[in-house]
Structure 1
Amino acid sequence: MIERTAEYAGVRTRELLVSGSGDPIVLLHGYADSADTWRGVLRALAAAGRSAVAVDLPGFGLAAPREPGALTAQFEEFAAAVVRAHGPVVLVGNSLGAATALRIAARDRDGRVTAVICLDEPLLARHWLARVCRWREYTGLFDLIGALPISDRVVQWAVRKAVGVFIYGPGFVADPAFLTTAVRSVPDMAALAARGRDAVRYARENPIGHGVVVPVCPVLIVHGAKDRVIPVRAARELHALLPGSELVVLPQAGHCPQLDQPDEVVRLILETAQRARRIA
């Protein structure tokens, strides 16, 4: 696996690559995550002889900070530049990355996206947390959170615990190396407040989900049945909105199936890529 610096849409970032054959598989991570979430998938793809690249989205991992302004446009402009650089590609995303991937695929009319795979896509969630996030900006609340006199050590302990409970599925043991990257994302109260503030901003930028999205390539929707962040019914609703899409619910997986079951995720990616090749 190669780790290197790259630049897309004027944003300096880090990417993880494995070499192989076939259309490159581009992997987009979720909110407050990084390319490190795909290491298990990348290793399995390398073993299968497939080329792939995982990137840090703007403001996450080791990427440059985001610019002022709307978050959604920045994520999508960046991801579109990745696709242009590597295309044609199989585009895979988790959570925020899934929402971004789906929209990039829907706008693609040049055949640069041959298939799109969405893992635990979040924008059609209608549970209480989604409703609360879209209600208001909570500026004062996040200012208060950022100023709370809680030590960095306590914050980092809480982040490790939260990742194990809310990101992994029940019964899966959190990878210590991945927990280190999670702490890097939220090392203190100021970072916690910033992550919360931007999560609300992103939710408010997308109050009705996707609107009309009609990808012309094959679409696979994957969702962990044990996801404690986004209910599986959001995936079922997305499936209903996209005629011809396929839905797979992984019974034991949580919000990040690529962490819980990387080999199963790779199997689904390769099957979808093969189907897209037959259609082409």
Structure 2
Amino acid sequence: MIAESRATYNGVGTRVLSVSGCGTPVILLHGYADSADTWRAVLARLAAAGRRALAVDLPGFGRAGRRRSGPMLPQFDSFADALLDDTGPAVLVGNSLGAATAVRAADRRPDVVRALVALDDPINARHWLARAARYREVPTGFWRTAARLPIPAVTLRWATERGVRRVLYGPGAPADPDVLARWNRTVASQAAVANLGRYALQYARETAAGHCGVRVSCPTVVVHGARDRIIPVDASRVLHQQIPGSELVVLPGSGHCPQLDDPDAVARLIVALKGDT
């Protein structure tokens, strides 16, 4: 059974989904604009395997408190550090922005990060979309105009559900109705779309250097969905090369969120990690 509670890390109130079990606890970090709910299927499988695990809403997402104005990266880093301080030694698992946050935490906190799983980490990406996001300035007025576009709710809902099916999942994988409903709540208005776009570009600019100089010494598995339509597999290949001794696993049918379309494989990789007990 997945329990739900509240906690505060680095001054940010957040929601915690957890399952009880044994061994080193597993901390699960979600991606941009997502929430702890993305890990429900993995949490259920970890519980069945007898592993203690928890997933949290990162600052500004899900039911967590808002981020402060200014740079985003230090806020995610400080939140992760406070979470690790509270949990103690842990296996750190992340998807997308959560993967980048986990890698950075493993670099800073070798004292508590016992093992690392990074799924579809975006910040080593160097394809056209990443370059455009990082190096092309978007006038502030653009976002104000975008927020006021008169897009009908039915059109926004259709576009959101199509995007979730095509981007987060691998081709042919059925989208969970609860996941679709959650994203429809997240992107409930054109103003919400504009806000997410604005901060996605800010995060891209803040992480333009990629994982340059990263030093991770714990057992690490770098995972990527072969059918990821946002971030190419090459981004994870670079990360694999940056972390000596890491393992690279490419899931052939997965999209950007393997925890959604192949939770069995993700849970197996976590349970099989050496150094996590």
Q: How many residues were matched structurally?
A: 275
Q: What's 2:27 paired with?
A: 26
Per-residue deviation, 1:145? 1.2
Structure 2 matches for 1:1-280, cutoff 5 A? 1-110=2-111, 112-138=112-138, 139-272=140-273, 275-277=274-276
In the alignment, residue 68 of structure 2 is paired with which amino acid?
E
- State TM-score, norm by structure 1: 0.96
Deviation (angstroms), 1:91: 0.2
Give the deviation of 1:81 after TM superposition: 1.0
What SS does the corresponding residue of 2:228 show, helix, strand or coil? coil
Asked if 1 retains the 8 angstrom alpha-carbon contact of 2:227 and 2:253, the reply is yes
Give the secondary-structure state (helix, strand or coil) at the position aligned to 2:188.
coil
What letter corresponds to residue 84 of structure 1 in structure 2? D
Question: What CA distance in whole angstroms lies between the structure 2 residues aligned with 1:219 and 1:48?
Answer: 20
Rounded Cα–Cα distance in structure 1 between residues aligned with 2:89 and 2:33: 27
Q: Is the Cα–Cα contact under 8 Å of residues 115 and 276 in structure 2 kept in the other structure? A: no
Q: Distance in 1 between matches of 2:202 and 2:235?
A: 20
CA distance in 2, matches of 1:222, 1:207: 21
CA contact (8 A) 2:89 2:113 kept: yes
Cα distance in 2 between the residues matched to 1:4 and 1:57: 14
* Aligned AA (2:129): L
Give the letter for the 1:117 counterpart. Answer: V
TM-score scaled by structure 2?
0.97
Q: What residue identity is the alignment partner of 2:157?
A: Q
Write the letter of the residue equivalent to 2:275.
Answer: A
- Percent identical residues: 55
Aligned equivalents of 1:277 and 1:194: distance in 2? Answer: 38
Once the two structures are superposed, what CA deviation does each residue of 1:105-126 show, in whole Å capped at 9, x if it has no partner? Answer: 001142x110010000000111
The amino acid across from 1:210 in the alignment is H
Matched residue type, 1:99: A
Letter in 1 for 2:217: V
User: 5+ residue gaps in structure 2?
Assistant: none
Q: Distance in 1 between matches of 2:217 and 2:81?
A: 16
Computed over aligned residues only, the root mean square deviation of the Cα atoms, in angstroms, reads 1.1
Letter in 2 for 1:172: A
Q: Residue 277 of structure 1: CA displacement?
A: 4.3
